[in-house]
Structure 1
């Protein structure tokens, strides 16, 4: 891990235009007019709230495709609310938008300086200069994520449009630039969340927060940066290293119809261990001899350099193979050919000060470090997609990731003219858009070694049941990424698709067992028995650790179970973990997901409170109970295994 950090830092040190300590931020990018930015007091803070300042997220935001020259456009921008979707037809070019906003942030957050609600339509603006050293190069404008639709203008010209609140996009804005002058960047954002008839991927966001559904995030909530490139440049690098040392590579370029030679070099401890040349825009393979394998216990990573002409990008990979196989007559998940009991938490990724945007990288990684220190080897990223530094941290720490696709308008219904109610589900066009964004999820994240499983549907949310689209979607995901497992339907409407027979049950588990309850399906012995969610034990806390919103506080008693003391909470946790251990020994349980990492708004069932200031866990007890799960699984893995 230290090797990777050192390599990346030395690589980025070559940046010629960075202001010292700025992460490559040009001075002009944080200059704005209008009322000065100020943090707004959120309903709850974290230890990092006051550390954010006006230079947020200075880190290079794309760890698997890094270039040495870049400028960070994060900082204080201008903001103006817009009245409707038609506002995009009349952009406020050259105007003072009146308010300042911190980018990246959610407009609903205190960190944004706005802390708005129903921010469905918004304008954002800033300005930047292109360094003279970049003259003659094309300029890429990169957005980490904008929720939900972004229309981008540069110097009064429309430069592009993007739809999808969780995915990065890049625009070549070369033709719109003014050489040696300030360049105006204006962005119109439309984020309907669950307004009206919109059925879009939103995860747990809602305009009407209540208990397990939370404050939404609108706007530019991940980093923005620019970088110079050649006209034909690398646009993406797909990397997969398996347990046999085979490296599978596809280097995508601007001109997809032209094949160009690319060179890929793998480094370990500064030494070259393999180099290979191959064609762009086509998959090719080569071998690294006797690689050190990646696993939660040994998260070994190798630095990778990809070169095409003058374009040079830095990346990394880990060598591991994720599969399934039969061990002693039970279908199991396998890591590097051996049964691994995957155990982690449901990780919502919400923050009281930043909503979707963690206040700092340190804060984001802190959650993962807490999980790792307790002995968890996995985290389920629950119907949210994080910035890419999250997945890099999981790669470095050794935490497997079960990655959910954000759900379509979860668990909502509408009243028909005849007063009957029906679930809000996607129409054919909305289902097609869901499929397109599922493809983006896979293609943009399939090179992170830690990701072990893709989840398509959670608890039937947005899942059509008049036919079974999960079968077609499962085949699509397998085609896009044959190197991982697929949990097609975690909880509820399971019709047999995918690699997992996944049960959700609160509070106690039913993992690979001959018993099940309502909304679950009986264990299917042809697939992996898995406890996709359980636990959820609640323990109320004093107001200084609560989301200070009365509507949220009023829903606390909707928690699956309330334990009146910390001791009682740990006692009940021990019983449930012991019950899971017994199911591992007796039945076909191959892993589980405990609800959850932290409290969120009206939920008080986290290992930590929402502000991350209080841990509920008896650490010695939890460490012992988690190790007991692994020991029980180890006792089941000694028989003959056959691959599926």
Structure 2
């Protein structure tokens, strides 16, 4: 039975033009007081000693320009600069020091000096950007180095030939159409409100410079196969040297091997009989040492299997290391009041993972964004499973198809084919440029994150936000990564593909639904709950948004625990797991377990976060 009263109370609202109250997390407060972010290596799975973080204060300028969407590639730098910006925070984020919304008809410029020596002896200088939203062109000393489009994945340029000894100048031009375009943008909106958050632009993850030998490892694919007692490695390399690998367990060598480069790749398999398996209760990691000519790098790996397998009664279950594991998940938006999509510090990422583990959850669903690589490293290290969403985009979601119809008519969920072009407008997927970008970014996300043992499933589409050809997408992702199960459609409009029947249930009694697919898939409630409580002094607005509210913390705790208990009780009826909404408050949403500033744990008796 649909809870009409709760539906009406949670109906989408027209955004109010109210200024967000300034909130600082403990790490943001330290940074604002003159501290610095931790100087951790941005990519622990291919780390070298010779790197330099370029985070910190840069010059910036924001300039209106005709046809910004076409001008960003070749526009000349501004004659004057507006001030300083703290990278890697977007200008919209308080910690940037700018606090200014970049509009679709504007270009955002960055500039900073590089004090470095031009590499000698065949070495190369690589400039890495972990994420820039959305399209950017890069210059070094006035020489155009390259460009990139896409707001969620890392990219790099070889800047060796453009460098000079001594002072160098790096300039970046960025254009971001935000939700005026159809590109991937997640939950960002220029008119924020309800479930949609402040749009942000430009550099939002670390920028760093790395010096490598001319012959070096470019990328590493790690494929642990515990059932076979093997570790299979595939490295993309530059040069004709030999790749030597050592696998270490607590500094003791377990295995080693070598492979000569052929056609830009090195392939080798190490025998690892009876490996120590990774799990949330025992997140055991092995270290890797790599050498290729004069190149030296470190990495790590873990041995575990994940999949959907029948239990003793034949019920499909999520299995870790071939044993059923009930998923106690929580939705993780990855937003911060002082940094927006950028965590104020590396320790802030670790804090969220630890807090959810202590609250009894074993899984985070990273929602509609790709996080900093450091987040996945913490999950690997601390034993937190991750369901990884693909970033969404397309047109503005149609309220009828994306919200009203599936909310009121559950029978519609399996009756809307997403491979019919006539349905693309209702699914906000009618722009072919968006569909092309989504397909490429989905593949890039899988390649980028597949080495992380914490990532145990891919989530392709959420609530009809740009959904199209889900079955074809499942086949493509399965070809790239046959080692993980796939949640093809989280929410509704199931296409009977993937490994899960994955539903959202905020307004009905929790139950296990029958699966029309054959063979049946594991059943998961991939969003539910969302109970709200506004904590004075720790919320962005006086208004609040959620799916049912509580007037005090005691009633909030009781309601959340009762809701979680209802979901837990369904395990015996075939439920494989759930994802509770959500980890923290975000702007108007006050349905988090933690407050937006991470200072109050609303579920903990003492309240301390």
TM-score class, shorter: 0.7 to 0.9
Asked if the contact 2:287/2:299 (under 8 Å) is kept, the reply is yes
CA distance in 1, matches of 2:568, 2:587: 31
1:80-135 deviation line (CA, Å, top 9, x unaligned): 00223225433227x55231000111110110111111344200010112247766
Corresponding position: 1:405 with 2:398:
no
Partner secondary structure for residue 151 of structure 2: coil
CA distance in 1, matches of 2:198, 2:564: 31
Partner secondary structure for residue 59 of structure 2: strand
If the length of structure 2 is used for normalisation, what is the TM-score? Answer: 0.86
Matches within 5 A, 1:57-456: 57-84=38-65, 85=68, 86=71, 88-92=73-77, 96-120=80-104, 121-131=107-117, 136-178=122-164, 180-195=165-180, 198-244=181-227, 245-254=229-238, 260-280=241-261, 281=265, 283-327=267-311, 328-409=313-394, 412-413=397-398, 424-456=428-460
| Structure 1 residue 57: Cα displacement | 4.4
Aligned length, in residue pairs: 552
CA distance in 2, matches of 1:71, 1:231: 18
CA distance in 1, matches of 2:473, 2:236: 24
Match of 2:546 in 1: 559
The 1:620–1:330 alpha-carbon spacing in structure 2 relative to 1, beyond 3 Å, is farther
Partner secondary structure for residue 562 of structure 1: coil
Q: What RMSD, in angstroms, separates the aligned Cα atoms of the two structures?
A: 2.4
Corresponding position: 1:45 with 2:27:
no
Asked if the contact 2:243/2:292 (under 8 Å) is kept, the reply is yes
Corresponding position: 1:604 with 2:590:
yes
| Structure 1 residue 597: Cα displacement | 0.4
CA distance in 2, matches of 1:532, 1:620: 29
| Structure 1 residue 41: Cα displacement | 10
The 1:310–1:595 alpha-carbon spacing in structure 2 relative to 1, beyond 3 Å, is same
Partner secondary structure for residue 45 of structure 2: coil
| Structure 1 residue 480: Cα displacement | 1.1
| Structure 1 residue 56: Cα displacement | 3.2
Partner secondary structure for residue 197 of structure 2: coil
Partner secondary structure for residue 526 of structure 1: coil
Runs of 5+ consecutive residues of structure 1 not aligned to the other structure: 1-39, 416-420, 515-520, 622-644
Asked if the contact 1:409/1:462 (under 8 Å) is kept, the reply is yes
CA distance in 1, matches of 2:139, 2:397: 35
Asked if the contact 1:42/1:352 (under 8 Å) is kept, the reply is no
Partner secondary structure for residue 561 of structure 1: coil
Asked if the contact 1:107/1:119 (under 8 Å) is kept, the reply is no
Match of 2:497 in 1: 497
| Structure 1 residue 360: Cα displacement | 0.7
Asked if the contact 1:128/1:184 (under 8 Å) is kept, the reply is yes
CA distance in 1, matches of 2:98, 2:442: 31
| Structure 1 residue 316: Cα displacement | 0.1
| Structure 1 residue 525: Cα displacement | 6.3
Partner secondary structure for residue 265 of structure 1: strand
Asked if the contact 2:62/2:82 (under 8 Å) is kept, the reply is no
CA distance in 2, matches of 1:616, 1:508: 24
Runs of 5+ consecutive residues of structure 2 not aligned to the other structure: 1-18, 401-424
CA distance in 2, matches of 1:166, 1:68: 25
